[in-house]
A = this chain, B = another copy of it.
Amino acid sequence: MAKEKKKKIRRPRAETPKGFRDYFGAEVEERGDMLRKIAGVYHRYGFDPLESSAVETVEALGKFLPDVDRPNEGVFAWQEEDGGWLALRYDLTAPLARVYAQYRNDLPTPYRRYAMGPVWRNEKPGPGRFRQFYQCDADTVGAPTVAADAEICAMLADTLEVVGIPRGDYVVRINNRKVLNGVLEGMGLEGDEQRDAVLRTIDKFDKVGEAGVRALLGKGRLDASGAYIDGVGLSDDQAAPVLAFLTSRAEDAGATLANLRAAVGQSVVGAEGVDELEQIAALLEAQGYGTDRIIIDPSVVRGLGYYTGPVFEAELTFEILDEKGRKRQFGSVAGGGRYDDLVKRFTGQAVPATGVSIGVDRLLAALRAKGRVKGGDAGPVVVTVMDRDRMADYQAMVAELRNAGIRAEVYLGNPRNFGNQMKYADKRNSPVAVIEGEDERARGVVQLKDLALGARLAAEATHEEWKAQPAQIEVARTDLVQAVRKMIAQGITQGDEG
């Protein structure tokens, strides 16, 4: 049809898919630096890296719903020609389970491994919520002893300090699901439904506090939006042990543990849980981790529903300003715990495991908030092109600079407009521009423009300072490397002073 023919060829949109993003320059470097430091600590603790494939069978991930045509929401999945479904991993734990089950005869037991890399979630994207993000996990598989849990907590504390969170600005909190189980045992709950309702309520302790949990375990409460939330319907007596558990943290580990023993009453599993916490506290103390770094804190409830034993969380305690300019604590950057059914899905055999996951983006944000990542990108020295027929000479300069370990490049755009070259150097955050025109060439010199100084002078200098500190100097061509190095070094010193 004529109409069809006239249709303009539509160009593809140059857009990152919704919920995905790209990382540029310094962002990539800063994350890389942080992960490298973390890997250094993990290595020292005897953990080995594992990089599993990004793609798993849906059956290995355990996300296939047999009664629908497609795997459920939450994962990106597609069907192979042979009918099997593949999916992108949604975390680093499910692949660890598959890997351990697959290679268990070759791997050491216990198997300490760390993994860093992107994971994918097929969720509705939102502000700051991406469908691809980094995770950084360390897990010990095959160690039933709580010494493994204690080790993870110690490693977490070391890691935070190594990446740049000073002691005093973080705390690792430890709780234990078994203690909670003991508390629940003594409450005389009616069936799993009521038990699950209690668990869900406990999970809100972070947000609603003691009074909120008390109300929600009883008759209910008005939430912030004014809606009435029905409670679980427990009597005050029934609810008391839960509140005792959640608020049992005392001034030291001994007192906290005594409170917990009271809260679990006669429960065997509860007593076991308290014993475990006691052992963990003793192990950490023996290694020199005091309560300034790691504490027993039964108010940690995140993930209590998921884990089967000790649960831990690393919180940053310094304040930042939120989006509305209010001060608030930075909050959690890592969490983990013991999950003893990791491999059972595959082999039928229960394998104890414990591990931690660091929120890579959150920790990076924290380091940025503390000024602990080297700000800005170290731009290259830019050698400008004054005479395009002498490109070989400019390239030779650049080669000299690079061979001396200085980051440098020649301007490779159209050199006609010198202003564009300076704009380029500016965009590249270049510390120094090198200029050699016909005149300089004849006299055996080059001009060095101190761009870092120029920017500072433009921002803040008086006229006298302008004159005293010329932002452009002339040096002998043979002194190029030495003079550039000196100029960069001065820029760094003065930048730090400023």
Chain A interface (Cβ within 8 Å of chain B)? 11-17, 20-25, 27-29, 32, 43-46, 48-57, 59-60, 62, 76-78, 84, 86, 88, 97-99, 101-103, 108-110, 112, 118, 120, 131-132, 140, 142-145, 147-148, 150-151, 154, 158, 279, 282-283, 285-288, 345-348, 377, 380, 388, 391-393, 395-396, 398-399, 402, 405-410, 412-414, 424, 427-428
Which residues of B lie under 8 Å from residue A144 when comparing CB positions? 414
Top 10 A-B pairs ranked by shortest CB distance? A46-B409, A14-B101, A286-B392, A143-B412, A20-B53, A46-B380, A28-B49, A287-B399, A78-B78, A14-B102
Check A22 against B99 for contact (C-beta < 8 Å): yes
Please state if A11 and B395 are interface contacts (CB–CB under 8 Å).
no
Is the pair A15, B391 in contact by a Cβ cutoff of 8 Å?
Answer: no
Residues of B within 8 A of A99 (CB): 14, 22
CB distance from A347 to the nearest CB of B (A): 7
Q: With both chains docked as a complex, state the minimum distance between the C-beta of A481 and any C-beta of chain B, in angstroms.
A: 13
B49 near A17: Cβ-Cβ < 8 Å: no
B11 touches A28 (CB 8 A): no
Contact of B408 with A44 in the complex, beta carbons under 8 Å:
yes
Query: In the bound complex, what is the Cα–Cα distance between A407 and B45 (angstroms)?
Result: 6
Q: Are A427 and B57 in contact (CB under 8 A)?
A: no
Pick the most buried of A50, A55, A59, A120: most chain B CB atoms within 10 A of its CB. A55
The A contact surface, by secondary structure, is mixed
Contact B108 A428 (CB under 8 A): yes
In the complex, what residues of B have CB within 8 A of residue A23's CB? 49-52
Minimum CB distance partner of A344 in chain B: B11
Q: Please, which residues of chain B bring their CB within 8 A of the CB of A409?
A: 45-46, 112
A23 CB → nearest B CB, Å: 4
A28 to nearest B CB, angstroms? 4
Set of chain B residues within 8 Å of A76, measured between Cβ atoms: 55, 78, 86
Complex partner residue of A16 from B20, B53, B158, CB under 8 angstroms: B53
Inter-chain contacts of A103 with B (CB < 8 A): 22
> Do residues A286 and B424 form an inter-chain contact, with CB atoms below 8 A?
no
Q: Which of B20, B57, B148 contacts A13 (CB 8 A)?
A: B57
Who on chain B is nearest to A35 by CB?
A: B32
CA distance A279 to B389 in the complex (A): 10
Whether A402 contacts B44 in the complex (CB less than 8 A), given A24-B50, A142-B413, comes out as: yes
- Asked, given contacts A24-B48, A44-B408, A109-B413, whether A391 binds B147 with beta carbons under 8 Å apart, the answer is yes
What would 8 A/B residue contacts be, using CB atoms closer than 8 Å? A12-B60, A14-B347, A17-B57, A45-B407, A144-B414, A147-B410, A287-B392, A287-B399
A28 to B288, CA, bound (A): 32
Q: Is the CB of A147 within 8 A of B78?
A: no
> In the complex, what residues of B have CB within 8 A of residue A112's CB?
409
Complex: A424 Cα to B110 Cα, angstroms: 8
Nearest B residue to A286 via CB reads B392
User: Cβ of A407 and Cβ of B12 under 8 Å apart?
Assistant: no
A78 to chain B, nearest CB (A): 4
Closest to A288 in B: B399
Q: How far is the CA of A53 from the CA of B55 in the complex (A)?
A: 15
From B109, B347, B407, give the contact of A44 (CB < 8 A): B407
Q: Please determine whether A17 and B395 come into contact, CB atoms closer than 8 angstroms.
A: no
**In whole angstroms, how far apart are the Cα atoms of A84 and B147 in the complex?**
50
Q: Are A286 and B408 in contact (CB under 8 A)?
A: no
Quick check: B11 and A348 within 8 Å, CB to CB? Answer: yes
A15 touches B60 (CB 8 A): yes
Which of B52, B55, B345 is close to A12, meaning CB atoms less than 8 Å apart?
A: B345
Closest to A15 in B: B102
- Give the CA-CA distance A15 to B398 in the complex, in Å: 51
Q: Measured between alpha carbons, how far is A148 from B346 in the docked complex, in Å?
A: 53
Are A345 and B109 within 8 A (Cβ)? Answer: no
Decide: B21 and A53 in contact? CB cutoff 8 A: yes
